[in-house]
């Protein structure tokens, strides 16, 4: 009965077009009513407690840092370096897109921002060079979803707060899987363009490559500063976010000179709007998570999954299949907010490492950004490239398959994730 009330109230509120945060509150109220403990004062207190978390301070700073980097020209200089390096190779513009996606992922942490920035720069170039536009847009879409899977991903901060898992450990654990996602795109791209004919860019001289490298170096060293600083214990993830803002502001204003003080106010407003949405979602999710726990929903689901508890690998496989299916119907945030409090008790009961689960769970949710019909990144690239959603789906499927293969390889061979993670830690 409890599970039925949970599903009907949540899905019913969402079906009425209610924003996910309010749908979660409606779900919480329904569970309170079912328990006979309906108390709006308690609900308000839990909402405040949900937002009152020190790690959440990292979110507005990382979002602001991403805005500063895009406006300050860091993205553009990274793309120029990649063009100079591999632009002359067959399929080189696709390799540029992948390289830039990985670097930008380690800087911005936002799939939507990377998709918009790289799509607006690279798609016109790829179209003019004779590349298949849907395939090019599909590659950039798949590359952009690496962003939520690498530090400084906001998704890991949100998951860490809801699931009570170390954000620093999540950041360290996801570096190698994120690189594997990039490698899978390289393999898939080279396979799909093996017989294609298109114009190649002229090969750059060593001097030109070095020039673009020096110009992009300010952006390239930033991920190493963020990750290295956290690993060395110089700063926490929240402090790393503040350092990222200061660094991006300095580079944009005084190195590239593409950012001015008058640009800061609109960037701050945009960051504040995004942050308010995310933090309200987290607060609502933590309220519903509290009531999900007190209603014993995880135990009821665990009893259904009990036959698989003795095989953590099989259990992980089933949970990831569930997330893949749900990801086709729900966006990243709802899936993350709804399933984290439901699945985490089951993960702990089965003896699965919460960090390992967290990395695969976020990766799975990120892949959902390029699965139709909801995939937000597909919608962004469809608009940027001016092609239909059907063409976007056609162009992205080889890269979607490549990333799903990586996900399930990490389930079959957990050491692919855990050995690099333990080495980094």
Q: What is the pTM for the complete model shown? A: 0.77
Q: Are 189 and 86 in contact (CB under 8 A)?
A: no
Longest dimension (CA), the chain: 74
pLDDT above 70 as % of the chain: 92
What pLDDT was estimated at residue 364? Answer: 92
What pLDDT was estimated at residue 305? Answer: 72
Query: What does the alpha-carbon distance between residue 297 and residue 6 come to, in Å, rounded to a whole number?
Result: 9
What pLDDT was estimated at residue 329? Answer: 61
Distances from the Cα of 193 to the Cα of 94, 107, 251, 371, 395, angstroms: 9, 29, 37, 22, 12
What pLDDT was estimated at residue 102? Answer: 87
Query: What does the alpha-carbon distance between residue 136 and residue 150 come to, in Å, rounded to a whole number?
Result: 22
What pLDDT was estimated at residue 359? Answer: 94
Angle at 383 between CA 379 and CA 386, to 5 degrees: 130
Query: What does the alpha-carbon distance between residue 314 and residue 248 come to, in Å, rounded to a whole number?
Result: 44
What pLDDT was estimated at residue 356? Answer: 95
What pLDDT was estimated at residue 373? Answer: 61
Residue ranges, the chain, pLDDT below 70: 1-3, 50, 54-55, 198-201, 292-293, 295-302, 329-331, 373-374, 425
What pLDDT was estimated at residue 299? Answer: 65
Average pLDDT across the chain, whole number: 82
Q: Are 287 and 47 in contact (CB under 8 A)?
A: yes
Angle at 56 between CA 53 and CA 60, to 5 degrees: 145
The full DSSP string for 77-146 is HHHHHHHHHHTTSTTHHHHHHHHHHHHHHHHH--HHHHHHHHHHHHHHHHHHTT--HHHHHHHHHHHHTT
Q: Which DSSP category does 425 fall into?
A: -
Classify each residue of 392-417 as buried b or exposed e, where b means 16 or more C-beta atoms within 10 Å of its C-beta.
Answer: bbebbbbbbebbbebbbebbeebebb
Query: What does the alpha-carbon distance between residue 137 and residue 249 come to, in Å, rounded to a whole number?
Result: 30
Angle at 314 between CA 309 and CA 317, to 5 degrees: 120
What pLDDT was estimated at residue 412? Answer: 92
DSSP H or E segment with residue 5: helix 2-15
Q: Cα–chain-centroid distance for residue 235?
A: 22
């Amino acid at each position: 009965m409890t599970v039925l009330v949970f599903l009907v109230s949540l899905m019913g509120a969402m079906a009425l077009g209610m924003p996910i945060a309010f749908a979660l509150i409606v779900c919480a109220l329904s569970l309170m009513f079912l328990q006979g403990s309906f108390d709006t004062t308690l609900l308000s207190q839990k909402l405040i407690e949900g937002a009152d978390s020190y790690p959440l301070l990292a979110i507005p700073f990382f979002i602001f840092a991403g805005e500063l980097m895009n406006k300050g020209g860091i993205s553009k200089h990274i793309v120029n370096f990649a063009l100079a390096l591999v632009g002359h190779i067959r399929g080189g513009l696709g390799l540029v897109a992948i390289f830039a996606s990985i670097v930008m992922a380690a800087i911005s942490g936002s799939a939507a921002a990377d998709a918009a920035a790289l799509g607006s720069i690279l798609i016109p170039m790829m179209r003019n060079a004779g590349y298949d536009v849907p395939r090019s847009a599909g590659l950039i879409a798949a590359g952009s979803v690496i962003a939520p899977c690498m530090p400084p991903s906001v998704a890991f901060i949100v998951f860490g707060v809801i699931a009570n898992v170390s954000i620093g450990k999540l950041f360290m654990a996801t570096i190698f899987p994120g690189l594997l996602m990039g490698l899978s795109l390289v393999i898939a791209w080279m396979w799909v363009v093996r017989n294609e004919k298109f114009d190649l860019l002229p090969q750059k001289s060593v001097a030109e490559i070095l020039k673009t490298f020096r110009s992009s170096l300010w952006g390239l060293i930033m991920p190493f500063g963020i990750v290295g600083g956290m690993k060395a214990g110089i700063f926490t993830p929240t402090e790393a976010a503040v350092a990222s803002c200061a660094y991006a502001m300095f580079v944009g204003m005084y190195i590239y000179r593409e950012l001015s003080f008058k640009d800061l106010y609109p960037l701050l407003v945009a960051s504040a709007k995004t942050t308010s949405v995310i933090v309200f979602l987290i607060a609502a999710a933590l309220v519903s998570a509290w009531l999900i726990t007190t209603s014993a929903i995880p135990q009821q689901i665990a009893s259904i999954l009990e036959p698989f508890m003795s095989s953590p690998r099989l259990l992980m496989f089933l949970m990831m299949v569930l997330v893949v299916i749900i990801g086709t119907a729900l966006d990243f945030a709802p899936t993350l907010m709804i399933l984290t409090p439901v699945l985490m008790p089951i993960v702990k009961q089965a003896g699965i490492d919460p960090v390992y689960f967290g990395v695969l769970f976020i990766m799975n949710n990120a892949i959902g950004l390029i699965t139709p019909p909801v995939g937000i990144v597909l919608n962004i690239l469809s608009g940027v490239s001016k092609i239909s959603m059907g063409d976007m789906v056609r162009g992205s499927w080889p890269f979607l398959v490549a990333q799903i293969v990586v996900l399930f390889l990490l389930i079959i061979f957990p050491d692919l994730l855990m050995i690099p993670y333990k080495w980094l830690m």
